[in-house]
Amino acid sequence: MSTWDRKALNFINQTSRWDKDKHISSFLAFSISLVKNLTEANVALQVELEDEETAKVKCASPVHLNDIVMNPDPIRKLLYAQGFKTIYWREIPPAKENVFKEVLPAFSSAIIIPINTTPNNSLLILGWSEPQAFDPGFLECIETMRLRLKEILLQSQQHLYFQRIAVRFSAILHTIPHALVFINNDGFSGWVNQEGAALLGLSGPGEQLPAILSDAMTQLRNKALNTADIYKEAVLLFSSPENSISNWIWQMEHKTLQVSCLPVTTQQISGRLWIFE
Query: Where does this chain bind another protein (CB under 8 A)?
Result: 50-54, 56, 64, 67-71, 73, 101-102, 105
d(CA 274, CA 234): 13
Strand, coil or helix: what is 268?
coil
- Strand partners of residue 264: 271
CA quadruple 96, 71, 127, 135: dihedral, nearest 10:
-80
Give the nearest distance from C-beta 99 to another protein in angstroms: 12
Give the nearest distance from C-beta 52 to another protein in angstroms: 7
Give the nearest distance from C-beta 92 to another protein in angstroms: 15
Give the nearest distance from C-beta 101 to another protein in angstroms: 7
Give the nearest distance from C-beta 104 to another protein in angstroms: 12
User: What strand order describes the sheet that includes 256-265?
Assistant: 206-208, 190-192, 179-184, 270-276, 256-265, 245-251
Specify the residue, 108 or 184, whose C-beta has the smaller distance to another protein. Answer: 108
Give the nearest distance from C-beta 67 to another protein in angstroms: 5
Quote the crossing angle between the two packed helices 3-16 and 136-175, to the nearest 10°. 10
Q: Which residues contact 9 (CB under 8 A, 6 or more apart)?
A: 1
Amino acid identity, position 70: M
Residue of 93, 70, 69 whose CA lies nearest to 81: 93
Specify the residue, 17 or 96, whose C-beta has the smaller distance to another protein. Answer: 96
Specify the residue, 19 or 52, whose C-beta has the smaller distance to another protein. Answer: 52
Give the nearest distance from C-beta 58 to another protein in angstroms: 12
Other C-beta atoms within 10 Å of 12: how many? Answer: 15
Specify the residue, 40 or 73, whose C-beta has the smaller distance to another protein. Answer: 73
Answer yes or no: are the C-beta atoms of 226 and 220 closer than 8 Å: no
Burial class for 185, CB neighbours closer than 10 Å (0-12, 13-18, 19+): middle
Specify the residue, 26 or 66, whose C-beta has the smaller distance to another protein. Answer: 66
Amino acid identity, position 191: W
Strand, coil or helix: what is 185?
coil
Specify the residue, 70 or 259, whose C-beta has the smaller distance to another protein. Answer: 70
Specify the residue, 52 or 207, whose C-beta has the smaller distance to another protein. Answer: 52
